[in-house]
Amino acid sequence: MAEVKIDNDQVVLHLTAVEKAEALHGDLRVPRSAVQQVEVLDDAHEMTRIRTGFKIGMRVPGQATVAVVRGGGKKMFIAIHGDTPRGVRIVLDGQSYDEWVVGTADPEGVAAAIKAG
């Protein structure tokens, strides 16, 4: 499962080897100063229900999404699995992605770690 980690002054989204293959993407990294907002999501799958747009990666509606999603004027990276339906939405400024949406067993802990900086 994807993990959000803090590495000095950066927020890093580590993907498993399978997730990298599914999304055709490697780990992502942004400066902590680029984080504009962190939101805890009780149902992270809601963020994947963009009706129009372009998706590159793997998506099984309501079960799992590991993909780059463009829609609604945004470019998002989404990594959510059925066993981690809760997650965080990380809104970014001035980066190649507008948002990351990541499923996690402890979204409150992830949000607190990002905000602590």
Residues 6 or more apart whose Cβ sits within 8 Å of residue 53: 69, 70, 71, 72
Instruction: Give per-residue pLDDT as tens, 2-53.
Output: 999 999 999 999 999 999 999 989 999 999 999 999 999 998 878 766 655 6
In the prediction, which pLDDT does 55 show?
A: 80
> The dihedral of CA 73, 98, 54, 58: what is its sign?
negative
* pLDDT higher than threshold 70 for residue 94: yes
Tokens found for residue 87: 């997650």
